[in-house]
Amino acid sequence: MYYDLVVFNAINSFAGTSILLDGLAIFLADYLPFVLGFWLISFLWYPKGDRIKNRLMVIVALFSGLVARFAIKPWVVFFYNRPRPYVTLPFVHKLIPTFFFSDVQSFPSGHALFFFAVSVAIYGFNKKLGIVFFLASGVMAMARIFVGVHWPSDILTGAFLGAITGLIMRWFYIKYQPVADRIIATIF
């Protein structure tokens, strides 16, 4: 907890010092997830390369992210419910709104869970794109600390569990690839 407090205060202390920095952090924390999501979905129709491979990448990546966010996070929250920094600390610079029911569900970060699972799955199909998604996910996760809605351990745990989920989903895809390929080819 001490580590969380020291690192959180070091990062969040820059919030409110510059309109430009705050605007950038708000964009990265709140809007970059949408940009990444739309970019990923655009690969369903991306004309270059192997279209089936692109579609498989999108489906495996989205499935990995959804499993991480909606299957893993509820279990962790069930056993360990942790309030967000702005709930427990008096002088947090909270720059973005959150849903009222999520005030007590900080651990692990759902954004980190989802996007690191997606990044691992993408990396299995396309190394360069996977690295871009990893970097973007990391920047987005750090911005969520900056804007005051997550502790550093929320981000690290979310990234770790998301990456593990992505690896497991990738393993399932490889194990059942002929079946998955047939299903995707039939649908698309």
CATH number at residue 17: 1.20.144.10
d(CA 42, CA 37): 9
Q: What's residue 49's pLDDT?
A: 67
- Asked if residue 70 is part of any domain, the answer here is yes
Residue 78, H or E segment? helix 73-79
d(CA 96, CA 121): 29
- Asked if residue 97 is part of any domain, the answer here is no
**Alpha-carbon dihedral 129, 161, 70, 93, rounded to 10 degrees:** -90
Closest by alpha carbon to 160, among 84, 121, 105, 108? 108
d(CA 135, CA 179): 32
Ranges of residues in the chain whose predicted pLDDT is under 70:
47-49, 99-104, 188
Q: What's residue 53's pLDDT?
A: 82
- Asked if residue 98 is part of any domain, the answer here is no
- Asked if residue 166 is part of any domain, the answer here is yes
- Asked if residue 15 is part of any domain, the answer here is yes
Q: What is the pLDDT of residues 50-99, one digit of tens each?
A: 777 888 899 999 999 999 999 999 999 888 888 888 888 888 777 777 76
Q: Which domain holds residue 119?
A: 2-91+103-187
- Asked if residue 145 is part of any domain, the answer here is yes
- Asked if residue 96 is part of any domain, the answer here is no
Q: What's residue 103's pLDDT?
A: 60
Count of the separate structural domains present in the chain? 1
d(CA 50, CA 44): 11
